[in-house]
Copies of this chain bind each other. A is one copy, B any other.
Amino acid sequence: MYPNGCKVTSVSTNLDADIPVGRRPRNRRGEGSRLRQDILDAAGEILEETGSPDAVTLRAIARRVGIAAPSIYAHFPDPEAVLVQLLIDGFVRLTATVEEAMDPLSDPVERLLAGCRAYLRQAASRPQLYRILFDHADDTPEAGTAGALSLAQGLRAFEVLVGAISDCARAGRSVSTDPFADATAVWVVLHGLAILPVSNPGFPWPPLDQLLTTTVTRIARIDASTSVNQE
């Protein structure tokens, strides 16, 4: 929140309800864009704490960052734009994490499973953001900007998944005859595993990593004898 590490020495008189604790030290000249990242961080925190995009208001962000609400207009045209940027960043991070996890591996089965695990790890790191990434219908206000990009990003990541299953089949490790349909099923499982344990913590979940491995292995029709992490 205070990236330059300054302590706020003078205690705020706190007359304005919008600025409850201390005040953020102003940025040096040319460092105004730091506030932009602080705004995004604060918005992300609010989103994870409340789980509701509607709670990400200009004034809530301003309170958290320690600035006056109108200061946000210097960096974003309106609160919707903050949310859109949050979604875009989330999508980019998700696909980047999956690709980085798969890239260094050569064994096709391990590549597939590593990508799936990375997907769930990234989703779990910001569960509410992940949920909103996929749950909003496409006709939602933010779909115009973020929706188009998310589809493009998602399709790119999806091709990696299809490729991984194709590689398994080519290597004789899978008997899949329709890698695209099987990749779709894998994605469906990933989404369910990313959402349900978060929203239903009271359910007696079996070990999730084993559930993932077993299920993906069966869906992608990977020969049990050739895989390491078998049930």
Q: Which residues of A contact B (CB under 8 A)?
A: 51-52, 54, 127-128, 131, 134-138, 140, 147, 151, 154-155, 178, 180-181, 184-185, 187-193, 195-196, 198-203, 205-206, 210-211, 214-215, 218-219, 221, 231
Q: Which of B187, B199, B221 contacts A196 (CB 8 A)?
A: B187
Consensus secondary structure, chain A interface? helix
Residue of A52, A180, A199 with most chain B CB atoms under a 10 A cut-off:
A199
A68 CB → nearest B CB, Å: 25
How far is B64's CA from A115's CA once the two chains are assembled, in angstroms?
47
- The answer to whether B206 touches A195, judged by C-beta atoms less than 8 angstroms apart, is no
- The answer to whether B199 touches A138, judged by C-beta atoms less than 8 angstroms apart, is yes
Least CB separation from A52: chain B residue = B54
- Inter-chain contacts of A184 with B (CB < 8 A): 205-206, 211
Least CB separation from A201: chain B residue = B138
- The answer to whether B196 touches A188, judged by C-beta atoms less than 8 angstroms apart, is yes
- The answer to whether B140 touches A135, judged by C-beta atoms less than 8 angstroms apart, is no
- The answer to whether B134 touches A200, judged by C-beta atoms less than 8 angstroms apart, is yes
- Inter-chain contacts of A205 with B (CB < 8 A): 184
How far is B193's CA from A207's CA once the two chains are assembled, in angstroms?
22
- The answer to whether A137 touches B51, judged by C-beta atoms less than 8 angstroms apart, is yes
- The answer to whether B181 touches A192, judged by C-beta atoms less than 8 angstroms apart, is no
- The answer to whether B221 touches A206, judged by C-beta atoms less than 8 angstroms apart, is no
- The answer to whether A188 touches B189, judged by C-beta atoms less than 8 angstroms apart, is yes
Residue contacts A-B, CB under 8 angstroms, 28 given: A51-B136, A51-B140, A128-B137, A134-B196, A134-B199, A136-B199, A137-B199, A151-B203, A154-B200, A154-B203, A180-B206, A181-B206, A181-B210, A181-B211, A181-B214, A184-B211, A185-B189, A185-B211, A185-B214, A185-B215, A188-B189, A188-B193, A188-B196, A189-B189, A190-B192, A191-B195, A195-B195, A219-B219
